[in-house]
Amino acid sequence: MNASNDFKTNTPIHFTATLLVAIAALTVIALSCALTITTPAPQVAHAASLASGTEGLLKQTALHLSKMQGGESIGGFPGFEPPDDEKYKQRIKNKNYSARDVNDWVKEINNFLKQIIKKNPRMTLEEILTKQGLTAKQIEEFTFALKDTELAARGMARYGVDYARAQALRELLIELGVSLW
């Protein structure tokens, strides 16, 4: 056998092997890029650092804030869906709630916020909501609803809303680093 025959017979095998290795390498690179793109690593890492139960407390807070906002979705959390009571649905939708309603809702919001603070000490609400995975717009919406509720509760004090309860909400917001109006 001469050298030119070896080259002719071995070249297709070497070329095929090299081509298969290159295709395999490109496939591995493509899959790793696809996994990197589709895996929301920052959100997973953020959510993992919140205390257990925080997400449920945030959902409950948003639910009660939603009542003050006519049933709207708050910060990406679902809005309030009243029971099959048409009168109650209209009261929420038209924001025609009583001082007693506001007292009850603010009391619940205060309780949820106290638990959130206790579970996540030294964290601002913005940090907590960021770690929960909310966008900047959703965080703004959530904090706006809190500030709006606090302002409405203080404004309704002359109509029967417990001023101390409204003041407690204000103090919790300050503790969470929420800038007030």
Average pLDDT value for residue range 20-49: 46
pLDDT reported for residue 144: 97
pLDDT reported for residue 42: 38
- Measure Cα distances from 166 to 75, 115, 140, 143, 162 in Å: 22, 17, 21, 16, 7
- Per residue in 146-174, pLDDT tens? 999 999 999 999 999 999 999 999 999 99
Which of 61, 69, 58 is CA-nearest to residue 129? 58
**Hey, what amino acid is at 179?**
S
Q: Where residue 83 falls among pLDDT bands split at 50, 70, 90?
A: confident
Contacts with 164 (C-beta within 8 Å, 6 or more apart), sequence order: none
**Hey, what amino acid is at 110?**
N
Domain ranges of the chain: 3-39, 45-175
- Secondary structure of residue 63 in the 3-state scheme: helix
DSSP string for 35-66:
HHHH--HHHHHHHHTSPTTHHHHHHHHHHHHH
Instruction: Count Cβ atoms below 10 Å from residue 67 Cβ, excluding itself.
Output: 24
Sign of CA dihedral 140, 141, 146, 149: positive
pLDDT reported for residue 91: 87
